[in-house]
């Protein structure tokens, strides 16, 4: 049950980024992505919740942990997704 919850949460976390792929103008796309990671951005708010949630994770690695790791690492620079600011996940101790 907790694995499903975490995987669903990660899906919700990445959805706003997926919408930016439809933006044709490169500068507008990069600005939209940067806004998602700004202090009040949708992904930044989700990362705060994820960081808090990971405080209580046990020592055993689950498929949900691996999924979260793979998706969150898309946010780590360098990445194939342009416009994500460098170091956006550095301040979340439980995510690193």
> DSSP readout, 37-93?
HSTTSHHHHHHHHHHHHHTT--SS--HHHHHHHHHHGGGSSS-SSTTPPTTTTTT-T
pLDDT tens, residue by residue, 28-44: 999 999 999 999 999 99
pLDDT tens-place string over residues 47-78: 999 999 888 877 888 999 999 999 999 999 88
pLDDT of residue 85: 93
């Amino acid at each position: 049950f907790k694995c499903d919850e975490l995987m669903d949460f990660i899906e919700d976390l990445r959805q706003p980024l997926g919408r930016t792929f439809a933006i044709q103008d490169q500068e507008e796309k990069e600005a939209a992505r940067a806004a998602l990671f700004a202090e009040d951005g949708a992904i930044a708010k989700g990362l705060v919740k994820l960081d808090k949630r990971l405080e209580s994770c046990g020592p055993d690695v689950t498929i949900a942990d691996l999924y979260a790791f793979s998706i969150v690492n898309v946010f780590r620079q360098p990445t194939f997704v342009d416009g994500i600011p460098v170091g956006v996940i550095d301040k979340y101790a439980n995510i690193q």
